[in-house]
Structures are given as C-alpha cells and as structure tokens.
Amino acid sequence: LEPVPGIVARITLVTPRGESVYYTPSTGSGGRTSLAIPPMPDVENGSLVSYQVCLELDIDPAVCVYESYLIWGGP
C-alpha cells in the first residue's frame, strides 16, 4: 500500500454531555495526520466516550471505524 496525501478525517465524539465533531489536518506526503482532542473536564470518571472516525472521501459506503473508551483516573 502507498501513503495517500491530502485526506481529511472527521472525528465524532459522543459523551454523556453531548456530541463534538473535529476534523484532522490533511494527511502529509507520508499519509499521516494527527489531532489533539481538548480536555473534557465536564465528563466524569467512569463515563463512556464513543467515537467514530470517517475519511472525508466521495465514496459510498463511507470508510469509518467506531470505538469507545472509558474516562478514568482524571482529577
């Protein structure tokens, strides 16, 4: 597989407090990008955060992954 530059991903986070959507910068020549999600101080320990990452491409079906994690060990 070859790296693909210029791809943007949409990240949707769902917490007990609501939904937030973020977009990554476009992938670079190596096919990589990253995004730092801001802290969520209003989400309590033990809360489940679900997220979906979809590539912003004009194809059907969309290329997405779904996962979740627990908030644990915060202040």
pLDDT, tens digit (0-9, with 9 covering 90-100), for 1-54: 899 999 999 999 999 999 999 999 999 999 999 999 998 888 999 999 999 999
- pLDDT at position 75 is 59
Give the closest residue to 55 by CA, choosing from 13, 12, 7, 21.
Answer: 7
Q: What is the pLDDT of residue 74?
A: 61
**Contact yes or no for 71/49 (Cβ under 8 A):** yes
Question: With 90 as the cut, is the pLDDT of residue 73 above it?
Answer: no
Residue among 35, 39, 38, 37 at smallest CA distance from 9: 35
Cβ–Cβ under 8 Å, residues 56 and 9: yes
